[in-house]
């Protein structure tokens, strides 16, 4: 039994969970806080659930409005609307796919009967869908069929992956699905594939608010894929098109440094920090993604070979741009470039070619910092020091400096 439980109050979600688990101990419940979590997106159909349970306490307008929106979605799972109030003298007209339960308290027996009936209804609907000739197309991602993920649309592509927006039946949410172009033979040593798998292994082992969530990894039709968190609010690159308040920029820097602290603590460098790899959640928090260029310090096999340059020149540290040995201080330099850009609206170094930019990171003086950013100048100078020895030596040290700066502000 898989159920989506939507309620404004966590106590109501907990009560539903207890009733359900008494009847179905192995039930899987995915909870959504109405008014607190991100709004349910238009493309979400909840097809991986047996039913959706919405609990509305007086006034129940928000629960009623959400129910109407979800009922309008084709193929949406059956809905149980629990209204914690007395039943009206004249109940609303029956609607296909909707069951209403009234009462000041949740009646367990009525709830269980309604869930069971909804699950049977949904099973019949899915059986009818499967008989349709086009049913398999919903799981097609280009030439690849990936069960349990409904394709919504392609959102990007690159040399290594094609990227889709999909609905994960397992996660019960929309996800970004990165489909690797091919799985190499065991005898082949394809660096890109190693990086692809390494991205999952690194991130899946970390639980941090500012690091992307990974939901699934698999192989389908000789193609590897990763299902990860979807960010409808976009990335920092787009956010920076509008001016940022200095304190907002400082808060963003703090969140990125916190993520780096977690990453560096397990011996991993990101090596490709840039605004396009920093995503925004709708609650305003930031999240690091795209660890395909990350490198574990203790890995026995070098994935990049000798003196190869990977990353984006605008945000590379001087040592990375010159293929020298790098450590955590290189990632901190990249944070410094982004912090400079967030404050001033421009990159510290630009050029006609990538090599010109790389040269400036190594040799050119830092452009003059406007007087209005004087409070932030010491942090910028430390982060953007040419020599790693002159920078902050770790993410925790940077976080201490940010905390002191915020206190003084």
Unique residue bearing structure tokens 């296909």: 96
Cβ neighbours of residue 8 closer than 8 Å, sequence gap 6 or more: 33, 34, 35, 36, 55, 56, 57, 62, 63
Mean pLDDT for all residues in the chain: 89
Closest CA to 343 of 251, 274, 233: 251
Q: Which two tokens stand for residue 275?
A: 């605004």
Alpha carbon distance 6, 25 (integer Å): 20
Q: Residue 64: left if φ>0, alpha if ψ -120 to 50, beta else—which one?
A: alpha
Cis omega (within 30 of 0) on the bond before 335? Answer: no
Alpha carbon distance 369, 380 (integer Å): 9
| Segment (H or E) for 223 | strand 223-229
Pairing mode, if any, of strands 286-288 and 278-280?
antiparallel
Q: Which two tokens stand for residue 41?
A: 């997106």
Quick check: is 221 catalytic?
no
Q: Where are the beta strands (DSSP E) in 132-203?
A: 140-141, 144-145, 149-157, 161-168, 173-180
Decide: 396 and 389 in contact? Cβ < 8 Å. no
Sign of the torsion angle spanned by Cα atoms 150, 155, 157, 160: negative
Closest CA to 48 of 218, 215, 276: 215
Cβ neighbours of residue 303 closer than 8 Å, sequence gap 6 or more: 191, 194, 195, 198, 295
Q: Residue 88: left if φ>0, alpha if ψ -120 to 50, beta else—which one?
A: beta
Closest CA to 31 of 23, 43, 18: 18
Tell me the per-residue pLDDT of 163-208, one tens digit each, with 9 for 90 and over: 999 999 888 899 999 998 766 554 454 555 666 677 677 777 888 9
Q: Choosing from 50, 216, 235, 272, which is the catalytic residue?
A: 272
- Burial of 72: CB neighbours in 10 Å, binned 0-12, 13-18, 19+: exposed
What is the pLDDT confidence band of residue 296, given thresholds at 50, 70 and 90?
A: low
Q: Where do the domains of the chain lie, and which CATH numbers do they carry?
A: 2-130 (3.40.50.2300), 136-229 (3.30.200.20), 236-408 (1.10.510.10)
In this structure, of 16-20, 61-65, 110-114, the range with the lowest mean pLDDT score is 61-65
Tell me the per-residue pLDDT of 350-399, one tens digit each, with 9 for 90 and over: 999 999 999 999 999 999 999 999 999 999 999 999 999 999 999 999 99
Please list the residues that pair with 228 across neighbouring strands. 176, 214
What is the pLDDT confidence band of residue 293, given thresholds at 50, 70 and 90?
A: low
Q: What is the pTM of this model?
A: 0.81
């Amino acid at each position: 039994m898989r159920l989506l439980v939507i309620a404004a109050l966590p106590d109501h979600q907990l009560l539903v969970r207890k009733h359900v688990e008494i009847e179905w101990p192995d039930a899987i419940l995915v909870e959504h806080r109405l008014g607190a979590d991100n709004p349910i997106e238009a493309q979400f159909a909840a097809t991986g659930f047996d039913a959706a349970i919405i609990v509305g306490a007086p006034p129940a307008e928000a629960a009623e409005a959400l129910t109407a929106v979800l009922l309008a979605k084709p193929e949406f799972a059956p809905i149980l609307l629990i209204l914690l109030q007395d039943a009206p003298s004249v109940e609303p007209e029956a609607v296909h796919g909707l069951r209403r339960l009234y009462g000041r308290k949740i009646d367990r027996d009525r709830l269980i009967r309604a869930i069971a009936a909804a699950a049977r209804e949904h099973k019949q609907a899915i059986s009818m869908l499967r008989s349709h000739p086009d049913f398999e197309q919903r799981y097609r991602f280009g030439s690849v069929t990936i069960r349990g993920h409904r394709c919504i649309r392609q959102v990007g592509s690159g040399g290594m992956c094609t990227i889709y927006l999909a609905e994960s039946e397992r996660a019960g949410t929309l996800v970004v699905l990165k489909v690797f172009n091919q799985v190499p033979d065991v005898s082949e040593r394809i660096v890109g594939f190693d990086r692809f798998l390494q991205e999952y292994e690194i991130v899946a082992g970390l639980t941090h608010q500012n690091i992307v969530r990974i939901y699934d990894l698999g192989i389908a039709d000789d193609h590897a894929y990763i299902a990860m968190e979807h960010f409808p609010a976009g990335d920092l690159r787009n956010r920076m098109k509008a001016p940022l308040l200095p304190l907002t920029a400082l808060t963003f820097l703090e969140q990125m440094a916190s993520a780096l602290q977690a990453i560096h603590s397990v011996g991993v460098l990101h090596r490709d920090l840039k605004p396009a790899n920093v995503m925004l959640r709708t609650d305003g928090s930031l999240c690091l993604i795209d660890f395909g260029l990350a490198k574990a310090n203790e890995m026995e096999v070098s994935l990049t070979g000798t003196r190869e340059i990977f990353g984006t020149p605008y945000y590379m540290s001087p040592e990375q741009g010159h293929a020298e040995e790098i450590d955590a201080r290189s990632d901190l330099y990249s944070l410094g470039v982004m912090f400079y850009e967030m404050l001033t609206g421009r990159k510290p170094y630009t050029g006609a070619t990538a090599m010109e930019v790389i040269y400036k990171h190594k040799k050119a003086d830092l452009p003059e910092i406007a007087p209005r950013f004087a409070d932030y100048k010491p942090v910028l100078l430390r982060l953007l020091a040419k020599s790693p020895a002159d920078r902050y030596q770790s993410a925790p040290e940077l976080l201490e400096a940010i905390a002191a700066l915020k206190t003084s502000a």
